[in-house]
Amino acid sequence: MFLFNNPIICVIIIGALMNIPTFIALIKLEQMQKLQDQYSLELNLLTRRITSLTNRVDELAQQESENNNNLTSLSSSVRYFIQEHHEMENSKIMPTPQLSEMIGITIQEQIATEEMLCHNMKIPRSDGQYKITKNVCKTYPHVDEEYIAKRVAATIENNIEKARRGEE
């Protein structure tokens, strides 16, 4: 008990005993500091990665926007082209005298072809005039189809009249 009678030794022992939890707390605090540094480093790396990904997403969004603009422009151009094509296809013309003469020659050639195909038949085919009109319309797609149909009918009638009179 001699040790406990001396106040200096008692203070040192009590101080040493009181410092043990402090040392343990300091060791734990140091471990927590290392853990905090590690988490801080990982958080910093994640922040950089997120920033990089955000920039990449922004670039992709900008590219998508440009692609949408280009697609819209292309779509508009295609629609305009199709509309113009339909308008040109639907706007038929009446032929000039030179073109009318060429159409007449084409009709005569088509009639001659049909006559050659049907000359041995006992009953001629009823769709001959339709075929002739269709072929001439294909040859001259920009000419009014009604004009061609009338011209084919008139030419066939004319040929029939000539045949009746014995001119051909």
- pLDDT score, position 72: 92
Residues in the chain: 168
pLDDT value of position 2: 54
pTM as predicted: 0.48
CA distance linking residue 100 with residue 151, whole number of Å = 9
The b-or-e profile of 55-67 (16+ CB within 10 A means b, else e) is eeeeeeeeeeeee
In the chain, the percentage of residues whose pLDDT exceeds 70 is 95
Q: Which residues of 146-157 are buried (b: 16+ CB within 10 A; e: fewer)?
A: ebbbebbeebbe
- In one-letter notation, the amino acid at residue 16 is A
> Residue 156: what pLDDT?
87
**pLDDT for the residue numbered 22:** 85
**pLDDT (tens place) for every residue of the chain, 168 residues total:** 455 567 787 788 888 888 888 889 889 999 999 999 999 999 999 999 999 999 999 999 999 999 999 999 999 989 998 888 777 777 777 888 898 899 999 999 988 888 888 777 777 677 888 899 999 999 988 888 889 999 999 998 888 888 888 765
What are the residue boundaries of the structural domains of the chain, listed by start?
A: 2-74, 92-163
As a whole number of angstroms, the distance between CA 135 and CA 117 comes to 15
